[in-house]
Amino acid sequence: MITARMNDEKPRLALDAMGGDGGPAPIVAGAARAIAEGLSASITFFGDRAELAPLVGAHAPLSDARIEHAENAVKMTDKPMHVLRRGRDTSMWAAVSAVAGGGAEAVVSAGNTGALMAVARRQLGMIEGVERPAISALWPTPRGRVVVLDVGANVEADEGQLVNFAIMGEAFFRILTGKEKPTVGLLNVGSEDQKGHELIRRAATHLRKCDPEMAFEGFVEGNDISEGAVDVVVTDGFTGNVALKSAEGAARLVGGWLKEALSGSLLSKLGALLMIRELSALKRRIDPSSVNGGVFLGVNGSVVKSHGGADAAGVASAIKMAAALCGKGFHKEIEGTVARVFGRIAELEPGEAAASDGAADGEMKAAI
């Protein structure tokens, strides 16, 4: 259980310092960067004290940070069940334990995603009514940020789980932005009602009929994500992860092309020098590190997963995300909405639900 805190108390963050591809150095540097950039938070690192102490001591912004020793670290190759059985002496387990025990309000780890999900579910439990967690990601658009989920926790998702993801994504976006009624869409191969497979059409039916409080916009396509057509895009983890990695690759490709174009000749270099401020702003906007930090929605606590290979800037982004979640209490909001919506789904007349599905099937056959 996460203990309540006073509004003027600093967010208490637990950082798994040993899980990333680059070891503890990027994690420590990222924490120092977040503090230097204005974050006010109480930070505790979990990991090998002998390795962490000199790294933390080298960063002035971390003068108040604490170190909790953990003997071992979860490897990227470790199986989740192995970690659950034999990983209680690891930095990941200890960091999540801090949240479970009330010593911290959020945990950040760049470690093994499957293991982190398993440890979080074991120690924190699930929000009542939520069957599976989902990993959310922030997506840059011309209008700001879009929340996309799931981006990797579940290879498949049925209609009930997609409804859950929509409810969680809506609450998450509201907490991050303050927008009272975020718009929500289901990712599909077309925006027409007859498009897509049966599960996604049934999820759309449930959201329209049983969650009238949600600003559900129906189906959206892949290009709608980057255009910011809706605030929350819902899909299964397989599709979401492919889309996310494709977008990150495209951003790096465009960034590389831009750098190449601006360094090709003396004239282009001069032009780049004259536009240094604007180019720096553009680089920040298209850098995937600026939106690093996937939140595990559905677990009964705040867990943020950083990319394993994130640099200090990326880690700082994930830490800021974790701090933003502290003290918000949106887990109870999700629990209440899930209970209300699924209660309405259970009350649907079987004939009505079957008629909706049958009509959709007929439309799909006609479209084909």
Closest CA to 139 of 221, 207, 230: 230
Check whether residue 105 and residue 202 sit in a common domain. Answer: no
Check whether residue 144 and residue 283 sit in a common domain. Answer: yes
Residue 336 banded pLDDT, cuts 50, 70, 90 = confident
> Contact, 111 vs 26, CB < 8 A?
no
Question: What is the C-alpha to C-alpha distance for residues 133 and 137, in angstroms, rounded to an integer?
Answer: 13
Check whether residue 249 and residue 305 sit in a common domain. Answer: no
Higher pLDDT, 354 or 179: 179
In a domain, 218, yes or no: yes
Torsion from C-alpha of 354, 357, 358, 360, nearest 10 degrees: 160
Check whether residue 141 and residue 89 sit in a common domain. Answer: no
pLDDT at 148: 92
Q: Is residue 366's pLDDT more than 80? A: no
Could you give the angle at the alpha carbon of 139 between the alpha carbons of 136 and 144, nearest 5°? 125
Question: What is the C-alpha to C-alpha distance for residues 338 and 320, in angstroms, rounded to an integer?
Answer: 27
What is the pLDDT averaged over residues 251-267? 72
Check whether residue 27 and residue 112 sit in a common domain. Answer: yes
In a domain, 37, yes or no: yes
| Structural tokens at position 8 | 């003027």
Domain count, the chain: 2
Higher pLDDT, 264 or 200: 200
Check whether residue 164 and residue 70 sit in a common domain. Answer: no
Check whether residue 336 and residue 318 sit in a common domain. Answer: no
> Rounded to 5 degrees, what are φ and ψ at 258?
-65, -45
Q: Which is it for strands 232-234 and 183-187: parallel, antiparallel or unpaired?
A: parallel
Helices (H), the chain: 24-36, 49-57, 80-86, 91-100, 113-124, 159-177, 198-210, 222-227, 237-262, 266-274, 276-286, 312-325, 330-347, 350-367
The angle, 0 to 180 degrees and rounded to 10, between the axes of the packed helices 266-274 and 276-286 is: 80
pLDDT at 276: 65
Question: What is the C-alpha to C-alpha distance for residues 210 and 160, in angstroms, rounded to an integer?
Answer: 12
Closest CA to 333 of 222, 185, 167, 192: 167
Q: Is residue 34's pLDDT more than 90? A: yes
Tell me the pLDDT tens digit for each residue of 81-113: 999 999 899 999 999 999 999 999 999 999 999
Q: Name the residue with tokens 């479970």.
A: 100
Check whether residue 279 and residue 145 sit in a common domain. Answer: yes
pLDDT at 5: 47
Question: What is the C-alpha to C-alpha distance for residues 131 and 161, in angstroms, rounded to an integer?
Answer: 7
pLDDT at 333: 84
Exposure of 165 in the CB half-sphere (CA atoms within 13 A): 35
> Contact, 193 vs 218, CB < 8 A?
yes
Question: What is the C-alpha to C-alpha distance for residues 289 and 269, in angstroms, rounded to an integer?
Answer: 25
In a domain, 86, yes or no: yes
Is the bond preceding 224 in cis, omega lying within 30 degrees of 0? Answer: no
CATH number at residue 303: 3.40.718.10
Question: What is the C-alpha to C-alpha distance for residues 289 and 14, in angstroms, rounded to an integer?
Answer: 20
Q: Which of 7-11, 309-313, 314-318 comes out lowest in average pLDDT? A: 7-11
Mean pLDDT of the chain: 84
Torsion from C-alpha of 40, 317, 93, 154, nearest 10 degrees: 140
Q: Is residue 362's pLDDT more than 80? A: no
pLDDT at 1: 33
> Contact, 108 vs 322, CB < 8 A?
yes
Check whether residue 204 and residue 282 sit in a common domain. Answer: yes
Whole-Å CA distances, 126 to 110, 117, 133, 237, 332 = 21, 11, 8, 18, 11
For residue 107, what is the DSSP state?
E
In a domain, 91, yes or no: yes
Check whether residue 305 and residue 336 sit in a common domain. Answer: no
Question: What is the C-alpha to C-alpha distance for residues 199 and 217, in angstroms, rounded to an integer?
Answer: 17
In a domain, 2, yes or no: no
Q: Is residue 274's pLDDT more than 70? A: no
Closest CA to 321 of 118, 137, 127: 137
pLDDT at 264: 72
In a domain, 45, yes or no: yes
Q: Which is it for strands 12-16 and 183-187: parallel, antiparallel or unpaired?
A: unpaired
Whole-Å CA distances, 49 to 18, 45, 52, 53, 157 = 11, 9, 5, 6, 41
Check whether residue 198 and residue 266 sit in a common domain. Answer: yes
**Amino acid symbol at 127:** I
Whole-Å CA distances, 303 to 14, 69, 249, 288, 296 = 10, 20, 25, 20, 6
Check whether residue 239 and residue 304 sit in a common domain. Answer: no
The angle, 0 to 180 degrees and rounded to 10, between the axes of the packed helices 113-124 and 91-100 is: 30
304 is in which domain, residue-wise? 9-125+299-328
